[in-house]
A and B are shown apart, each in its own frame.
Chain A
């Protein structure tokens, strides 16, 4: 580095401080008719952050005689920033509307340069879109959208199934490593939370049941109550809800972030099918782990029920075990097993679809994740109702 010119620097700094402390007061403007011209005097410091910025009124040039030029006097102008340009821009637009001739060249050159960059036409705010509530249209649109979504999700499911078949044959586009990481995220990593929730649900069922059953001295039937409730409904539904919040949300967030980064576009350009590369491993992972988690949830739930019964009620461990076995025919398990398989596939497909459909901004990622969780939970419960009706009809 060259040796600095210390003296010059200090002098310059002092000068700068002098300039800084010379306060020229609040920004002001003044319009004054003179012979053959009109003079606009600008004075004071025009600094936006100090506030109190004057406006140029629409009738500002009312008194200017027709055909006479308007000139500027900037001798008393102090420091200025874009707030001055903003004022001058307004003035220029007004002058244009009133057909007043402005002598822009009487402004400081730097201000003129900035002013030249600005468009002549005043900005017209876009009219807000007409917003009327039309119930019939809204209902119709909602129905169409929903049907469209159902179609899209089914199509996606079909494409993923095709990809899955191709994978089985050995010509698939799915990478095993993706499937493995998805399986691990949707399976072992979820064991703790699924276990805790199902244990507590089983315990709560035992508590609630014991109050009524104790009146009839039928304490032992707590075992069958817990077993049937867990196996038929609670374990499948609770596990599905947990997985919708946990894994479904993650899928939607991941895919919509990929969408925002143009990663999905890149896949499509390469001809890598999104359905079998991205969606298939996710859906397979959920469809595979969900039934296993369901079985695990059943066992843990019954353990919770047993825990409460053993501590609170007069039930022997052997009796509880026996009663549980007695109350549970195997087809109950089959039914729950199928249910959780459907839930897993449903959550996987919908959350991937929501992720793919998301917009391309950070906010859209959040919206997609939320939507995936909501749709997942509502959908699981709705599907469960359908299953309940089916079970009733076929008499399981």
Chain B
């Protein structure tokens, strides 16, 4: 079966995930998942609802320890060390959570500024300047003094992106970045993600099932299946759409119903 994009990519490997098994207690979510994310790529973690995409993301950003397997972030083994070393590696990460996850007691500007205040020795006016810049990049400068509760869902997401970029991370994780956004905002966000990758050379990992956006931006990826509980295809979304023969992947990529009986009554 054709479910592995032939790789000609010679960019250095940024994250190497090897034989990872994720489970809550005895309930296995995904097993034997292996893939590599190359520097500067936009890597999509795809799959239907409830297949464990977000769980995989959680384990990659340090919120859930895998029961088996390793994550190498360049030369560092992410989960083998103690909490301190994990936090140190994690400082290179920026995470955009599904609903923004802004700290509600702080203004948008303070949200973006907090990591810089905590982890850098920058002067307050420089921090202010960088906060303005990051909010400017996501088009949220006007909301700098507003509280998250005053923002719409899309604005929260963009503010969350600005916060994820706060420390200029070289690896960015996006959990459903375009879910709940209107097409224009979503396209703008896609463009922004591409620009960030090109401009800052960041490696980006996206968990999403928003096909149009995935085809547009992602250049590599993995497809997780909920029934087999493992990765059933590797490759960029466009390659999977055009070449993958796995029925689940095919149905997903073409927005079709997965049809086991062959015919459907409606036609």
Taking beta carbons and an 8 Å cutoff, which residues of A are in contact with B? Answer: 1-2, 4-5, 8-9, 12-13, 15-16, 47-49, 51, 53, 81-83, 85-86, 89-90, 109-111, 113-114, 117-119, 123, 125-126, 359-364
Contact = CB atoms under 8 A, between A and B. Distances in A.
A113 B191 CA distance: 10
B136 A2 contact: no
Nearest to B168: A81
29 contacts: A1-B34, A1-B36, A1-B234, A4-B36, A8-B10, A9-B13, A12-B12, A13-B74, A48-B122, A48-B168, A49-B119, A49-B120, A49-B167, A53-B126, A82-B130, A86-B129, A89-B133, A111-B199, A114-B199, A117-B192, A117-B195, A118-B133, A118-B136, A119-B136, A119-B141, A123-B132, A361-B148, A362-B104, A363-B104
Interface string B31-69: 000111001000000000000000000000000000000
Contacts of A114: 137, 195-196, 199-200
Contacts of A49: 119-120, 122, 167-168
A151 to B, nearest CB: 26
B147 interface: yes
Given A86-B132, A361-B149, A362-B105, 20 more contacts: A2-B7, A13-B74, A47-B168, A48-B120, A49-B122, A49-B167, A51-B122, A83-B168, A85-B137, A85-B199, A86-B133, A111-B199, A113-B195, A114-B195, A117-B136, A117-B139, A117-B195, A119-B136, A123-B132, A123-B141
Nearest to B122: A51
Contacts of B126: 48, 51, 53
A36 B132 CA distance: 34
Contact of A82 (B7, B12, B134, B147): B134
A126 B145 CA distance: 8
B121 interface: yes
Nearest to B12: A12
A17 B32 CA distance: 31
Nearest to A16: B12
B172 interface: no
B6 interface: yes
B198 interface: yes
Contact of B200 (A82, A360, A362): A82
Nearest to A1: B34
Contact of B12 (A9, A109, A364): A9
B4 interface: yes
B160 to A, nearest CB: 15
Interface of B: 4, 6-7, 10-13, 34-36, 39, 74-75, 103-105, 116, 119-122, 126, 129-130, 132-134, 136-137, 139, 141, 144-145, 147-149, 165, 167-168, 192, 195-196, 198-201, 234
Contacts of A90: 129
A109 B201 CA distance: 12
A86 B130 contact: yes
B130 A83 contact: yes
A222 to B, nearest CB: 52
Contacts of A109: 198
Contacts of A51: 120-122, 126
A5 B137 CA distance: 37
Nearest to A111: B199
A8 B198 CA distance: 23
Contacts of B199: 85, 110-111, 113-114
A48 B129 CA distance: 11
A118 B130 contact: no
B10 A5 contact: yes
A123 B120 CA distance: 24
A215 to B, nearest CB: 57
Contacts of B200: 81-82, 110, 114
**What are the nearest 7 A-B pairs in CB distance?**
A361-B104, A363-B105, A12-B12, A110-B199, A81-B168, A114-B199, A86-B133
A125 B145 CA distance: 9
A114 to B, nearest CB: 4
Given A51-B120, A82-B165, A360-B149, A123 B104 contact: no
Contacts of A82: 130, 133-134, 137, 165, 168, 200
A4 B35 CA distance: 11
B198 A110 contact: yes
B202 to A, nearest CB: 9
A15 B13 CA distance: 13
A360 B149 CA distance: 6
A118 B137 contact: yes
A278 B149 CA distance: 24
Contact of A123 (B39, B119, B144): B144
Contacts of B7: 2
Contacts of A13: 12, 74-75
A361 B105 contact: yes
Nearest to B145: A126
A89 B133 CA distance: 8
Contacts of B6: 2
A390 B36 CA distance: 79
B197 to A, nearest CB: 9
Contacts of B130: 48, 82-83, 86
Nearest to A15: B12
Contacts of B148: 361
Contacts of B12: 9, 12-13, 15-16
A13 B75 CA distance: 10
Nearest to B129: A86
Nearest to B201: A110
Contacts of A9: 12-13
B137 A117 contact: yes
B8 to A, nearest CB: 10
Nearest to B4: A2
A175 B52 CA distance: 36
Nearest to B169: A81
A223 to B, nearest CB: 53
Nearest to A3: B7
